[in-house]
Amino acid sequence: MQKDGIRDLSEMFALLQEVQGTGTNIFEILDIEDHEKRLTRFLAWLLDPDGSHNARSAFLDVFLNCFDIQVSTPDNVKYLEVLNSTEHGQVEIDLVIETDTQIIGVKVKTTHTESQTKFEKEAVVLREHAQERQEKAAEMLYLPHLGSEMKSAHYAEHIATWHQVIEALQECRGELEAGHDIALFDDFITNINKHVIRQQVSFSKESELYLKYRDYLEDFEIDINADSYQNDRKDIYNHLWQWFEKTYDTDRWGGQLDRSRKFSKNTRYIRLYKNDWHLTENSSGRPAFTLEIQGMEKRLRWYDDNEGDDAYRPPEPHFEMTVALNDNTESQKRREAYREYLADADREALRDGGFWDVRERLNEVNSEAPYNKYHMYSKIIHIDFADPNKVVTELKTGLRTFVALEESIDEFSKDWRNSH
């Protein structure tokens, strides 16, 4: 049974049946899926031998075993302990575990990586604190966001991955007695696997159902939460950011890819630009030239009503990458000048990278709008729900293509300012 030639109602109901079999997760509901402090706070509760879970030191013992650390009976587990240092001032350590002979600090990361300088400073302060506490031994542990840091974080003597920690903690699930504690523990494990450990991007069945069939679901008065697709979009953006950070010198770039924290699920779009791409002297704010990665719901979900200067966009779920050059004049003087400025090799590179002139696209679809007032070139990336890595690959291709235009835009911006 079909409502149109592409979307199949039988597929929609099959997806719905799968989705209705999945439960909610408290960490997703509270929007703290990878919130470092909130997840560390839960971990602290789990490791605390005096915690309300009544599992005594079971979780703490297996946790420390992941780092090849054994301890005698711990006195306490402190969350976000602030230590004072004569040389370094106040330093905050995520977890501090104290026994009668040892003080153990734990650096917990669920988002970006920790700098060697910061980690070593915390280790120094912890040792100072241990000396003041009856000359106890001090150990600094590192639980990084990425498993790859097992090799690169050579400065951390004791290091374990989230995968190792989660496997170890699961061995003690049977120590929990209360039903709500078990439910919270299961949500924590699921959340870490889904939002912290996961390296490959994916689109959940909830996302596919919402983005492909939202209008149908409204017709049937079926309520599906948008959180799932927003989380999947967030993971794609973060994957892209981490790749960009490793591939390019981010210091010279402005916009949302110049950052130290992960994207949130409410991030709808990403912009990339250079601060000297203004076309008028003494300008402030966002420059005239930008690359925009558009992931708003209007693009990600099926949308039949693109018209006017949006008529070039397809109805199917997609990301759109655009080279934006602000020009809302009938003459399109700025854009015409840049088109003429582009070398043949640059034009060919844009086409090879999947970018097409929006003006030409609007003409092809017989739109009454001669141009889009925001976007000059556009790359449409259709969402393949079965293979979301294709989306990431095309986004990377688009970023490479845009970065390759850097010199061209540098020179054009400078020449335009000098001549106007």
259-263, 356-360, 363-367 — which is least confidently predicted?
259-263
Instruction: Mark which of 169, 197, 225 sits at the end of a domain.
Output: 197
- Same domain for 168 and 211, yes or no, is no
- Same domain for 154 and 267, yes or no, is no
User: H-helix or E-strand containing 128?
Assistant: helix 116-132
Is the pLDDT reported for residue 228 higher than 50? yes
User: 3-class SS at 378?
Assistant: strand
Asked whether the beta carbons of 187 and 27 are under 8 A apart, the reply is yes
- Same domain for 241 and 181, yes or no, is no
State the residue for tokens 């699961």: 170
pLDDT at 107: 94
The CATH number for 186's domain is: 3.40.1350
Angle in degrees, CA 341, 343, 345, rounded to 5: 155
**Mean pLDDT across 211-237:** 88
- Same domain for 245 and 288, yes or no, is yes
Does residue 5 fall inside a structural domain? no
| 103: Cα separation from own chain's centroid | 34
* Domain extent for 74: 32-197
- CA–CA dist 337, 413 (Å, integer): 11
- CA–CA dist 254, 304 (Å, integer): 34
Asked whether the beta carbons of 324 and 291 are under 8 A apart, the reply is yes
pLDDT at 22: 64
Q: Tell me: the pLDDT tens digits for 134-155?
A: 778 899 999 998 777 888 889 9
Q: Which residue has the higher pLDDT, 319 or 260?
A: 319
Asked whether the beta carbons of 99 and 73 are under 8 A apart, the reply is yes
Asked whether the beta carbons of 354 and 394 are under 8 A apart, the reply is yes
User: 3-class SS at 261?
Assistant: coil
Helices (H), 153-256: 162-170, 179-191, 205-219, 227-247
Q: Tell me: the pLDDT tens digits for 38-91?
A: 999 999 999 999 899 999 999 999 999 999 988 777 667 888 788 877 677 788
- Same domain for 126 and 97, yes or no, is yes
Is the pLDDT reported for residue 227 higher than 70? yes
Does residue 26 fall inside a structural domain? no
Q: Tell me: the pLDDT tens digits for 257-303?
A: 877 677 888 999 999 999 999 998 877 788 999 999 999 999 999 99
State the residue for tokens 């109602």: 9
**Mean pLDDT across 340-355:** 95
- Highest mean pLDDT (candidates 1-15, 123-137, 163-177): 163-177
| Helix 36-47, helix 179-191: angle, nearest 10 | 140
pLDDT at 265: 85
Is the pLDDT reported for residue 341 higher than 70? yes
Contacts 24+ apart (CB under 8 A), 60-66: 60/97, 62/168, 62/169, 62/171, 62/172, 63/165, 63/168, 63/169, 64/97, 64/104, 65/168, 66/160, 66/164, 66/165, 66/168
Does residue 10 fall inside a structural domain? no
- For 318-351, the DSSP string reads EEEEEEEE---STT-HHHHHHHHHS-HHHHHHHH
Is the pLDDT reported for residue 199 higher than 90? no
pLDDT at 75: 67
Does residue 6 fall inside a structural domain? no
Q: How confident is the model at residue 371 (pLDDT cuts 50, 70, 90)?
A: very high
Q: Tell me: the pLDDT tens digits for 85-139?
A: 767 778 889 999 988 888 999 999 987 778 899 999 999 999 988 888 777 889 9
pLDDT at 224: 80
pLDDT at 2: 42
- Same domain for 402 and 275, yes or no, is yes
User: 3-class SS at 165?
Assistant: helix
Contacts 24+ apart (CB under 8 A), 236-239: 236/201, 236/295, 236/388, 236/391, 236/392, 236/395, 237/263, 237/267, 237/270, 237/293, 237/295, 238/262, 238/263, 239/199, 239/201, 239/392
User: 3-class SS at 185?
Assistant: helix
Does residue 18 fall inside a structural domain? no
What percent of the chain clears pLDDT 70, i.e. is strictly above it? 96
- Same domain for 138 and 250, yes or no, is no
- Same domain for 174 and 247, yes or no, is no
- Same domain for 296 and 344, yes or no, is yes
Q: Tell me: the pLDDT tens digits for 395-409?
A: 999 999 999 999 999
pLDDT at 381: 97
Q: How confident is the model at residue 1 (pLDDT cuts 50, 70, 90)?
A: very low
- Same domain for 250 and 132, yes or no, is no
Query: What pTM, to 2 d.p., does this model score?
Result: 0.75
Does residue 2 fall inside a structural domain? no
Q: Which residue has the higher pLDDT, 222 or 355?
A: 355
Is the pLDDT reported for residue 16 higher than 70? yes
Asked whether the beta carbons of 19 and 224 are under 8 A apart, the reply is yes
Instruction: Mark which of 165, 197, 229 sits at the end of a domain.
Output: 197
- Same domain for 181 and 46, yes or no, is yes
> 328 Cβ partners below 8 Å, 6+ apart?
373
pLDDT at 99: 85
**Mean pLDDT across 217-238:** 86
Domain count for the chain: 2
Q: How confident is the model at residue 356 (pLDDT cuts 50, 70, 90)?
A: very high
What percent of the chain clears pLDDT 90, i.e. is strictly above it? 57
- CA–CA dist 169, 47 (Å, integer): 10
- Same domain for 361 and 243, yes or no, is yes
Does residue 64 fall inside a structural domain? yes
Instruction: Mark which of 197, 226, 243 sits at the end of a domain.
Output: 197
Does residue 165 fall inside a structural domain? yes
> 172 Cβ partners below 8 Å, 6+ apart?
55, 58, 59, 62
